[in-house]
Amino acid sequence: MNTIRIVARSRIHPGKLEAFTEIAAKCLAATRRDPGTQSYEWYFNADRSECVVLEVYDDSNAVLAHVGNLGDLLGQLMSVADMTLEVFGDPSPELRQVGASVGAKFYSYYQGLV
């Protein structure tokens, strides 16, 4: 199974919701160019202080392409929100290195109905 799933959680800094949503819209537009993105869904909690992005990619190369397509948008998001990443699947060594550089947690597949 090469599919990579990511859960990206953001706690938006006070007073930065408008900036966050503007950057998020740019992220979605950039993601439309990704060759291997299967799913990219953004969710807010009730008071819009937290956002969760559920992401599904064909494989590690698709995630790396996504990161490349976003360019400096990731840095912009991190300037207005505290982010954590959880990566699920069997990432390549290169993806592990990129994820580790931003403190991502990695989870290997165990079992389930897919």
Q: What is the pLDDT of residues 6-31, one digit of tens each?
A: 999 999 999 999 999 999 999 999 99
Residue 114: pLDDT band (50, 70, 90) is: confident
pTM: 0.94
- Residue of 40, 27, 39 lying closest to 69 (CA atoms): 27
DSSP single-letter state for residue 107:
E
Phi-psi region of 22 (alpha: psi -120 to 50; beta: other; left: phi over 0): alpha
Q: What is the pLDDT of residues 30-86, one digit of tens each?
A: 999 999 999 999 999 999 999 999 999 999 999 999 999 998 999 999 999 999 999
Burial class of residue 86, CB neighbours in 10 A (0-12, 13-18, 19+): middle
- Structural domains of the chain, ranges and CATH numbers in brackets: 4-107 (3.30.70.100)
Residue 1: pLDDT band (50, 70, 90) is: low
